[in-house]
């Protein structure tokens, strides 16, 4: 590390004095800078060590976030006195907002700031929100009165007024901070690798696999140690530990500053998208003859140049300028004499917008999967809370149920990366082995199975409640909560396959200038899944109360719910969504980013991955 630091210092000295300019130019990472906004140098910035800081920080960040998110539904129902369905909706809205705000973090990283700057800012915001929640949990006067009613059907006084405002202020400050982190941290780690070489691309793929591994490690600590502290020592301890953890992550992230390489912001990608769409629509409306636009696309001068193949992002830029035969309507955006300078579009910009439009259907097809995953933080926790949560003499908090899929993911992620992927590469003779879309498709199938298992387990749980005469009782049912672990296992496996697949797919397929924003689509899919869960709960209640005069998912007693019917509905919707996914993936063609290895890429460009 010392020699590397001296080498880096030497190159910056050469740059400053103006000598050895040609050698210096060949040694820089084009399009990247270091933490002091100087050109990033090969051999000095980026690589496995730089990405390792991101992975360590992700363990701490996800621990701080998930420690409270996984158990929040019980905190809201027991201490803030919201009904189970209302608590579930609050949690899904909170988590949905957090993940949706990842788009803001990704946009800011691409357009104005850098992924390096976004993390400490976002972590500070999350820390502030956690401090507010810690203060409220510690101070009795900031919470509603303790519920003393022994009758489960009698509602307690829920939090309101200023106390409610304090609660939601803390929650949504945490959501804002989490969103910024999720939108900037994964692309920051992925940017550390040289995508112009097979080794760099394989290392980047390994990074995404281990990113999910580190997510799981943080989740394991969260749903065991921190949840135990919340249930046995008080929620002020849980929020306090999360506050300290996210605070510690900031200096750890900054320790990697000397070796990070950071992508230079390229301005607003959203502006480019709207400009191309507006130009294409305007030119189509004002001219019946589009030959000018087509000619401009086909004769665009800089499709491939020798200089553009020297660096990764320049290669990518050259390739996006190659005119594609899809979405020809957008070709009309390129004309020799635009009506206004603001509507002047290049062939490269049009091809970039085409790429974005082509990945949107894949993104939309993953929302239903994440709607299923939302059940891990809501009804599944409430189900387990009504059951026997003891293993021998040990009482397991209901919110610690995710420990089962988390442990499975911790084991499966290295196995997948070091055994399954090399084997698939050897069999398929391709660099990727298992394609991104195949991984996502596997997650979709597992989510369908998980919902079917969840429905069957709920039928069994309610049968035990009736047979034991405990339908209206607060006593634990004589059935082990390990039955719920089955649906957690399938949903956890679905998460492992889908999340890493989505992040790598969106990062590698997106244009260079939009990578942070595109990677954030993985989290936006989670957000929309959580929102869809809330909408489905409300919609199901409205429809069932109309036709059956009693909603499926309403009241304070989970034993009176028709949760099994809701899970069957989710299973059917997931199956239909998978058919829609197959339709789009069979038509999708991967965008080649490796002109030096076309023999490996060509099989991946076929339209029958899934």
Same domain, 131 and 167: yes
The string of DSSP letters for 12-24 reads HHHHHHT-SHHHH
Domain that holds residue 36: 2-41
Strands 387-388 and 477-480: parallel
Domain assignment present for 298 = yes
Query: Do 372 and 466 fall within a single domain?
Result: yes
Asked, for residue 577, whether it belongs to a domain, the answer is yes
The residue that leads in pLDDT, 480 or 181, is 181
User: With contact defined as beta carbons under 8 Å apart, do 164 and 82 qualify?
Assistant: no
| pLDDT, mean of residues 376-391 | 79
State the Cα–Cα distance between residues 266 and 390, nearest whole angstrom: 55
Do residue 275 and residue 249 come from a single domain?
no
**Judging by beta carbons within 10 Å of its beta carbon (0-12, 13-18, 19+), is residue 158 exposed, middle or buried?**
middle
Domain boundary (345, 365, 399) is at 345
Mean pLDDT of 499-524: 88
Q: How many CB atoms lie within 10 A of CB 397?
A: 22
Provide the number of structural domains found in the chain.
3
In this structure, the answer to whether residues 425 and 534 fall within a common structural domain is yes
610 domain residue, yes or no: no
Same domain, 398 and 523: yes
Which of 101, 570, 582 minimizes the C-alpha distance to 369? 570
- The sign of the CA dihedral 64, 132, 167, 524 is negative
- Are residue 295 and residue 161 in the same domain, yes or no? no
Residue 350 lies in a domain: no
pTM of the model: 0.79
Of the residues 345, 366, 398, the one at which a domain ends: 345
Domain membership flag for residue 351: no
8 A C-beta contact, residue 511 and residue 272: no
SS3 477: strand
Q: Are residues 158 and 297 in the same domain?
A: no
Where is 184: in which H helix or E strand?
A: helix 161-190
CA distance 199 to 16: 32
Q: Would you say residue 168 has pLDDT above 70?
A: yes
Same domain, 26 and 54: no
Q: Is the pLDDT of residue 329 over 70?
A: yes
pLDDT the model gives residue 18: 45
Question: What is the CATH classification number for the domain harbouring 588?
Answer: 1.20.1250.20
Q: What percent of the chain has pLDDT over 70?
A: 84
Q: Quick one: pLDDT band at residue 310, thresholds 50, 70, 90?
A: very low
Instruction: Among 33-47, 188-202, 307-321, name the one with the lowest average pLDDT.
Output: 307-321
Residues 571/451, Cβ–Cβ less than 8 Å: yes
Confidence of residue 171 (pLDDT cuts 50, 70, 90): very high
Q: 513: which DSSP letter? A: G
Q: Which residue carries 């910009």 as its tokens?
A: 349
Q: Are residues 198 and 297 in the same domain?
A: no
* Cβ contacts of 573-580, under 8 Å, gap ≥ 24: 573/368, 573/371, 574/368, 574/369, 574/372, 574/444, 574/447, 574/448, 574/451, 575/448, 577/365, 577/368, 577/369, 577/444, 578/441, 578/444, 578/445, 578/448, 580/365
DSSP assigned state of 408: H
User: Is-contact 55 280, C-beta < 8 A?
Assistant: no
451 in a structural domain: yes
The pLDDT of residue 399 = 66
Question: Do 567 and 474 sit in the same domain of this protein?
Answer: yes
Q: Which residue has the higher pLDDT, 546 or 459?
A: 459
Residues 88 and 235 in one domain: yes
Residue 314, helix vs strand vs coil: helix
SS3 content of the chain, % helix, strand, coil (to 5): 70, 5, 25
Q: Among residues 198, 178, 113, 110, which one has the least CA distance to residue 510?
A: 110
* 205 and 140 within one domain: yes
């Amino acid at each position: 590390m010392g020699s590397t630091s001296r080498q880096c210092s030497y190159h910056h000295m050469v740059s400053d004095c103006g000598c050895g300019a040609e050698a210096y130019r060949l040694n820089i990472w084009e399009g990247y800078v270091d933490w002091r906004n100087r050109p990033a140098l090969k051999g000095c910035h980026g690589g496995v060590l730089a990405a390792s800081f991101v992975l360590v920080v992700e363990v701490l960040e996800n621990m701080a976030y998930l420690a409270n998110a996984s158990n929040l539904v019980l905190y809201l129902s027991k201490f803030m006195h919201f009904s189970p369905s209302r608590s579930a909706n609050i949690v899904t809205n909170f988590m949905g907002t957090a993940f949706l705000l990842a788009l803001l973090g990704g946009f800011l990283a691409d357009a104005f700031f850098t992924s390096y700057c976004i993390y400490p800012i976002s972590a500070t915001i999350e820390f502030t929100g956690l401090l507010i929640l810690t203060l409220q949990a510690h101070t009795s006067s900031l919470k509603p009165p303790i519920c003393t009613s022994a009758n489960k059907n009698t509602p307690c006084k829920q939090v309101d007024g200023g106390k409610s405002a304090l609660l939601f202020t803390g929650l949504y400050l945490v959501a804002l901070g989490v969103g910024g982190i999720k939108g900037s941290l994964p692309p920051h780690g992925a940017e550390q690798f040289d995508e112009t070489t097979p080794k760099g691309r394989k290392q980047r793929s390994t990074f995404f696999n281990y990113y999910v591994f580190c997510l799981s490690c943080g989740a394991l600590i969260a749903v065991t140690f921190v949840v135990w502290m919340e249930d046995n020592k008080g929620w002020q301890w849980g929020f306090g530990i999360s506050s300290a953890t996210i605070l510690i992550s900031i200096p750890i992230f900054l320790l990697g500053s000397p070796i990070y390489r950071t992508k230079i912001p390229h301005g607003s990608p959203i502006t480019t998208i709207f400009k191309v769409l507006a130009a294409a629509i305007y030119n189509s409306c004002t001219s019946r003859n589009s030959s000018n636009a087509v000619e401009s696309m086909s004769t665009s001068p800089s499709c491939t140049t020798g200089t553009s193949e020297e660096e990764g992002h320049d290669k990518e830029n050259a390739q996006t300028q190659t005119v594609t035969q899809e979405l020809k309507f957008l070709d009309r955006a390129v004309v020799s004499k635009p009506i206004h300078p603001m509507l002047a579009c290049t062939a490269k910009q049009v091809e970039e917008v085409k790429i974005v439009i082509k990945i949107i259907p894949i993104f939309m097809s993953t929302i239903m999967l994440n709607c299923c995953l939302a059940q891990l933080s809501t009804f599944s926790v409430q189900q387990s809370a009504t059951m026997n949560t003891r293993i021998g003499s040990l009482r397991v908090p209901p919110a610690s149920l995710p420990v089962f899929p988390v442990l499975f993911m911790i084991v499966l992620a290295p196995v997948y990366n070091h055994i399954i992927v090399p084997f698939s590469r050897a069999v398929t003779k391709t660099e990727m082995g298992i394609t991104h879309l195949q991984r996502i498709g596997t997650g979709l199938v597992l989510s369908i199975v998980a919902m079917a298992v969840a429905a069957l387990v709920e039928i069994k749980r309610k049968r035990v409640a009736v047979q034991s005469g405990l339908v209206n009782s607060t006593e634990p049912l004589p059935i082990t909560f390990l039955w719920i672990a089955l649906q957690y296992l399938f949903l956890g496996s679905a998460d492992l396959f889908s999340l890493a697949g989505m992040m790598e797919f969106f990062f590698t397929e997106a244009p260079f200038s939009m990578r942070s924003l595109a990677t954030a689509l993985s989290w936006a899919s989670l957000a929309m899944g959580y929102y869809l869960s809330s909408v489905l709960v409300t919609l199901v209640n409205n429809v069932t109360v109309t036709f059956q005069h009693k909603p499926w998912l309403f009241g304070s007693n989970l034993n009176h719910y028709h949760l099994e019917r809701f899970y069957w509905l989710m299973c059917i919707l997931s199956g239909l969504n998978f058919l829609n996914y197959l339709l789009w993936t069979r038509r999708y063609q991967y965008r080649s980013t490796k002109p030096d290895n076309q023999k490996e890429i060509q099989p991946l460009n076929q339209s029958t991955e899934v």
